[in-house]
Amino acid sequence: MSSPLMMSGGPVADAVFADLRPRIEKLIANGRPPGLATLLVGADDASARYVGMKHAKAAELGCHSVDVHLDVDATQTEVLDAIAALNADDTVDAVLFQYPAPPHIDFEAALLTLDPDKDVDGLHPVNMGRLALSMPGPVPCTPAGIEALLAHYEIPIAGREVCIMGRGATLGRPLALLLSQKRPTANAAVTVVHTGVKDWPKYTRRAEVVIAAAGVPGIVQPEHLTPGCVVVGGGVRYEGRKLLPDVDVACEAVAGAITPRVGGVGPTTIAMLFRNLVEIAERRLAPREYED
């Protein structure tokens, strides 16, 4: 079998940012740049690096950014107060509450206090409901990035059988909702399987597109796939700084198209976060103040 199409996320992200730059310039011309705030509790190295990347990208794009960093021993009340302040800050269009938080912080309870219209991750229950009902609102970034990646590489999705391995609230579940919606880049027959399904490979083997979203290193092996299928590795786990993807590298010998081990879905997730930011800023100014 010939080498598969390697679906790198970098070109997808570049195309998204090329679309966003003139929209950011227009927002600036209409009053002020889009404003992104991050809230980090504690000193998790991976989280700190992730937040730092967001601020660097915001500066590159000409966006306003606010970095709120609370000590690891911050109380729930201090976290809630920080979120309330960001909700009330008119220079902040969107807020990223970085996960994970220290164990003594009730992350879900704190997330519920975030203004859903400022939820840049699209994970607030209101926004998950909007997604389920196909209503406008911030869409979870990794699922949106996967849809954009498949569209960029002209992988047909409409009417095809897509199997998602994983049912998590940040990826598998919202991705199933997204890809089943009636749009040219979606409209698929979506099956969701997980480790609770006794014979889950039966479903992945019949699918034309397989998306791994389980967070279980190496769970998808070549024997779980039909030759020539499309494979997207969305789920990962880290061992220190080492990235452990759901899709075993040996799957490249079977797939017709596949994301690389590094640089696949990741860059598109970052791009979708900034697309959410810009769309939130545009909605806050629309319709009267934001006109051609």
Domains and CATH numbers, the chain: 31-115 (3.40.50.10860), 140-268 (3.40.50.720)
pLDDT at 2: 75
What was the pLDDT predicted at 292? 45
Q: What is the DSSP string of 191-243?
A: EEE-TTSTTTHHHHHH-SEEEE-S--TT-B-GGGS-TT-EEEE--EEEETTEE
pLDDT at 44 (0 to 100): 82
Residue 1: per-residue pLDDT: 57
pLDDT of residue 291: 47
Sequence-separated contacts (24+) of 198-205 with Cβ below 8 Å: 200/165, 203/163, 204/163, 204/165
CB within 8 A of 209, min separation 6: which ones? 150, 155, 157, 160, 161, 162, 163, 188, 229, 230, 231, 232
Per-residue pLDDT of the chain (292 residues; tens, 9 = 90+): 579 999 999 999 999 999 999 999 999 999 899 999 999 999 888 888 889 999 999 999 999 999 999 999 999 999 999 999 999 999 999 999 998 899 999 999 999 999 999 999 999 999 999 999 999 999 999 999 999 999 999 999 999 999 999 999 999 999 999 999 999 999 999 999 998 999 999 999 999 999 999 988 899 999 999 999 999 999 877 766 777 889 999 999 999 999 998 899 999 999 999 999 999 999 988 754 544 4
Predicted confidence at residue 284, as pLDDT, reads 86
Nearest to 144 by CA among 53, 13, 20, 268: 268
Find, among 223, 278, 229, the residue nearest to 256 by Cα: 229
Quickly count: other Cβ atoms within 10 Å of residue 148's Cβ: 22
